[in-house]
Homo-oligomer: A and B are copies of this chain.
Amino acid sequence: MPPPPLPDFLRLLPWLAKWLALAAAVAALAGTASAFFLFALDWATATREAHRWLIALLPLAGAFVAWVYDRHGRAVEAGNNLLIDQIHDPHTQIPLRMAPLVLGGTVIAHLFGASVGREGTAVQMGGALADQLTSAFRLGRDDRRLLLMAGISAGFASVFGTPLAGAVFGLEVLTVGRLRFDALLPCTVAAILADRVTSAWGAHHTHYAVGAIPPETAATLLAVAVAGALFGLAGKLFAEATHALGAWMKRRLPTAPLRPLVGGAVIASLVLAFGADRWIGLGIPVIVESFARPLGAHDWLLKLLFTVGSLGSGFKGGEVTPLFFMGATLGNALAPLLQLPFGFLAGIGFVAVFAGAANVPLASTLMAMELFGSAMGMPALLACVLSWLCSGQSGIYKAQRGREGKRPG
């Protein structure tokens, strides 16, 4: 007869208790930071919209942030890539200053009208705060890896209000095509609790309504697959263009503050000359619009250009909300061509461009189910897998490993 199940379980209990406590601590820190960040973003966006002349200061603001990073932030400049590197190959603790620097840099970028996102900021705050527990509790190498992953999950989950996507993002973002589960409990608990903490602080997330979901016919599935491939190519284009512009700027302008000075001048001139406000900032109103009515075919491309310009010239912030914007507006534009409802394809694009550009097909599918309901799960998975495959060996996170793992051999 079987051995009684308790001994094995009893050996697990201390580890379980330790990680429930550590994950809760990570969640409290990252969730609070995300709530504060979301409030600051609301303030920055509202202030910029009320005082449009702030956009003229974008070059100076960018140069200032770059100067501060150059003097005090060289150790944390690699941002998300530093976190990913430290998880793969841990050696130095993430300096706590990563959190205030990226928070300040991102809020300034939004206040003066750069086109950037927020996941990078939330993830870096989560990771940097989590890593402070390493020395506080004298944790070893394996524990530290789990703690950093939990910090990433907590940051992502709380800034978007998507605990499942956050939990899996922390596992999935490290290595393309391979997922290890030894951090599953820390990432899950940190993601769930961080989302609750952010909500408890009173932060809210935008609600998106995809509207009618078409019947699952062969024609629908084929159209979704084709759209998924196009979303992946858009994600690839974005990732490669951002890296290429960044490298080119670094070569031509070796003095860091000059890069956002020049890039910011170009962006601010375009916005003020052509009234291109639609494609800067987070762009949440346009994302909401893309679910509600047919838009032009140019929105996604202009958002891509403004974001590539902003990130490539060194403004701080994330890539993911701009990717949601590009995906939702590209989906909206493709819908009539593919004979799909535009709200539906906007929702699929929202997650699928992200899936391809960040190489996270499962986290993005879970995000679709969390944001749009479980009926979107099946088409989202199909589109996200196609997008992930078609984005090839590109990706927004340079430190991510294993890009050759999408196909065997």
Contacts and interface: CB of A to CB of B under 8 A. Distances in A.
Interface of A: 1-3, 5, 8-9, 12, 15-16, 20, 142-143, 145-146, 163-164, 167-168, 176-185, 188-189, 192-193, 196, 216, 218, 221, 225, 229, 233, 236-237, 240-241, 243-245, 248, 361-362, 365-366, 369-370, 373-374, 377-378, 381-382, 385-386, 388-390, 392-394, 405-409
Given A164-B378, A196-B216, A5 B237 contact: yes
B177 A178 contact: no
Contacts of A9: 229, 233, 236, 390, 392
B167 A176 contact: no
Contacts of A189: 382, 385
Chain B CB within 10 Å — which of A8, A163, A244 has the most?
Answer: A8
Contacts of A167: 381
Given A5-B237, A406-B182, A389 B168 contact: no
A13 to B, nearest CB: 9
A316 to B, nearest CB: 22
A184 B361 contact: yes
B181 A405 contact: yes
Given A142-B409, A369-B369, A373-B373, 12 more contacts: A2-B240, A8-B236, A9-B229, A20-B225, A143-B408, A145-B408, A177-B182, A179-B179, A179-B181, A184-B361, A192-B378, A196-B218
A145 B366 CA distance: 26
List 4 A-B pairs, minimum CB-CB distance, nearest first.
Answer: A2-B240, A177-B181, A142-B408, A179-B179
A120 B387 CA distance: 32
Nearest to A404: B182
B392 A182 contact: no
B390 A1 contact: no
Nearest to A142: B408
